[in-house]
Amino acid sequence: MAKHEYNRSDDQLEKARRELDASAAGLDTRLVSATNELYQPEAAPRHLAAFLTDLGEKTLYDAAAQCNRCGYCETVCPTYALTGRETLSARGRNQFMRLLVEGRAKDPAEAKEALSTCLLCGACTSACYAKVPTPDLVLEGRRTLEGYGDDLLSRAAVGTLLNAPWLFSLWLKLAYLAKLSGLPRLAAAMGLYHFLGMPGLADAERSVKKVPLRFAAQTLRRDPELRRDGRRGIKWAYFAPCGPNYLFTEVAAATVRLLKRNAGEGVFMDNHCCGLLAHNYGRLEDARKFARKNITAYEALKAAYGEFALIADCSSCAAFMKSYEQLFTADPAWRGRAAAFAASVKDILEFINPEDFPSAAKAHSAHKGVVTYHDSCRACHGQGIRREPRAVIRKLAGRRYVELPESEWCCGGAGAYAFTQPEISASVLDRKLRNIASVQAKTVVVGATSCLIQINAGLRAAYPSAEAVHYSVFLDRMTGGPADKQ
């Protein structure tokens, strides 16, 4: 081939490259301006700068565009299974987000139903070959809705929990005292739960049998066995999520007993709320503030004691803390610290070894009858934890353990979803209850406090001979711990 032909070919290639670059730049500019229009520059702190997906770091557009509309996720999406509506499926929700970013859907409110009905269960991402982070995309969409998470009460509640947790505790105790004195309506009338930004807490509180007047953190701070006075060599630090701290203190107590018995020496971190509530309800900057406080507390413990595992006993909180790095992708000063913190987090479901326990023959018979296990969404889809808790429960329950059909199907609790979308939540729960009844279970072991509230509320109404029990409480009782009721 003659030399000039090579040259001409190079020229053509160069020209094509320039055209491609120009068109990519044009596309980029259009997307950036559509994204800016969607977000409004002053609202940037309300949003994630990037998504850390299983296939790498993605922008909002790239993450949404990753959806090739194959529809594999349709069979696992509870809201699609229930309604048969494409807009209430993962595929439909991702298309909404893509249209919003491309500026082809001008008003995020048009997508409000699709965005607000998502359970954020993550079953779609588990089923998706492209690993599209649909729950994170949905949350981004919600954050574009006008006023989302920005009302006075939400701001006051999150602000109090963040800056004056003692005041938050005081309000909560007043509400509990009103319940104990037989005046739950007074608590509601006083607007305490609304002040706490948790109108759903009134329903949650109704669905638990007893409320604690001493929170878990208060007890753990005084536990002499959790004080190590800087002596190095601890194996674990306990992080008290809000559920076990404020509502299910027996879960926190059982977890700490288990850790003391089976995992060597440890301490209590005396943490702040993990920030999940603020994150999921539109207050991302506040979620970052919670995260920074916890990261700083973790680093101080690490400086004093060396490496350890940070144990949480609510799968929703553990999964969220494992994703702290995603909050700081645009903040180099905090990103590495968040990643180090996240790497130390362990869900109690994955931390306990079956070898640490006696066989079924020697286990306590605190739970008679069939025992089954419900996979909390943020344990199985959020953290990939499936095998570990089953191995331990099987060891303790032996042949009484029966696998729950559709164990990964969401129970409909999903944080405050049961209170914001009661009809869908009840239908999703109904499927879970039918599955529990189908194996004639007496005990349903769960790893998240939201599931504990939701499944127990359903069981009390439809199948009262069965009980949902937190994993730590189940293990503790089966190995001789006190059999206090949840």
> Given the complex with ligand SF4, which of 417 and 463 has the nearer CB atom?
417
We find the least distance from the C-beta atom of residue 146 to ligand SF4, in angstroms, to be: 22
The answer to whether residue 456 forms part of the interface with ligand SF4 (CB under 6 A) is no
> Given the complex with ligand SF4, which of 12 and 68 has the nearer CB atom?
68
> Given the complex with ligand SF4, which of 80 and 334 has the nearer CB atom?
80
Q: Which two tokens stand for residue 10?
A: 């190079």
Apex CA 197: angle with CA 196 and CA 203, to 5°?
85
Q: 3-class secondary structure for 34-83?
A: HHHHHHCHHHHHHCCCCEEECCEEECHHHHHHCCCCCCHHHHHCHHHHHH
Q: Which of 97, 111, 124, 139 binds ligand SF4 (CB under 6 A)?
A: 124
The answer to whether residue 132 forms part of the interface with ligand SF4 (CB under 6 A) is yes
For residues 274 and 243, is the Cβ–Cβ distance under 8 A? no
Dihedral sign computed on CA atoms, order 192, 197, 199, 201 = negative
Question: Of the candidates 388, 312, 318, 309, which has an alpha carbon nearest to the alpha carbon of residue 356?
Answer: 388
We find the least distance from the C-beta atom of residue 171 to ligand SF4, in angstroms, to be: 32
The answer to whether residue 93 forms part of the interface with ligand SF4 (CB under 6 A) is yes
Q: Which of 34, 52, 63, 90 binds ligand SF4 (CB under 6 A)?
A: 90
The answer to whether residue 469 forms part of the interface with ligand SF4 (CB under 6 A) is no
Binding residues for ligand SF4 restricted to 416-455, rule: CB under 6 A: none
Q: Which of 97, 118, 338, 366 binds ligand SF4 (CB under 6 A)?
A: 118
What are 301-306's contacts with CB under 8 Å, separation 24+? 301/237, 301/267, 301/269, 302/344, 304/230, 304/232, 305/228, 305/230, 305/231, 305/232, 305/233, 305/234, 305/237, 305/267, 306/232, 306/233, 306/234
Apex CA 243: angle with CA 485 and CA 171, to 5°?
105
Binding residues for ligand SF4 restricted to 370-399, rule: CB under 6 A: none
Q: Which of 60, 128, 178, 297 binds ligand SF4 (CB under 6 A)?
A: 128
For residues 234 and 266, is the Cβ–Cβ distance under 8 A? yes
> Given the complex with ligand SF4, which of 294 and 316 has the nearer CB atom?
316
The answer to whether residue 212 forms part of the interface with ligand SF4 (CB under 6 A) is no
> Given the complex with ligand SF4, which of 43 and 145 has the nearer CB atom?
145
> Given the complex with ligand SF4, which of 93 and 283 has the nearer CB atom?
93
Q: Which two tokens stand for residue 269?
A: 């971190």
- In our burial notation (b when 16+ CB lie closer than 10 A, e otherwise), range 232-247 reads eebbbbbbbbbbbbbb
The answer to whether residue 135 forms part of the interface with ligand SF4 (CB under 6 A) is yes
Q: Which of 34, 65, 77, 251 binds ligand SF4 (CB under 6 A)?
A: 77
d(CA 13, CA 301): 58
Stretch in the footprint of ligand SF4 (CB under 6 A) among 77-85, 170-178, 278-286, 463-471: 77-85
The answer to whether residue 114 forms part of the interface with ligand SF4 (CB under 6 A) is no
> Given the complex with ligand SF4, which of 135 and 212 has the nearer CB atom?
135
Q: Which of 123, 220, 258, 276 binds ligand SF4 (CB under 6 A)?
A: 123
What are 166-170's contacts with CB under 8 Å, separation 24+? 168/196, 169/215, 169/246
Q: Which of 98, 101, 111, 134 binds ligand SF4 (CB under 6 A)?
A: 134
d(CA 106, CA 470): 45
> Given the complex with ligand SF4, which of 128 and 452 has the nearer CB atom?
128
> Given the complex with ligand SF4, which of 135 and 241 has the nearer CB atom?
135
d(CA 83, CA 70): 19
Interaction mask 37-76, ligand SF4, x per CB under 6 A: ------------------------------xxxxxxx--x
Quickly list DSSP for 121-143: --HHHHH-TT---HHHHHHHHHH
In the complex, the residues that contact ligand SF4 under the rule CB under 6 A are 67-73, 76-79, 90-91, 93-94, 118-124, 127-128, 130, 132, 134-135
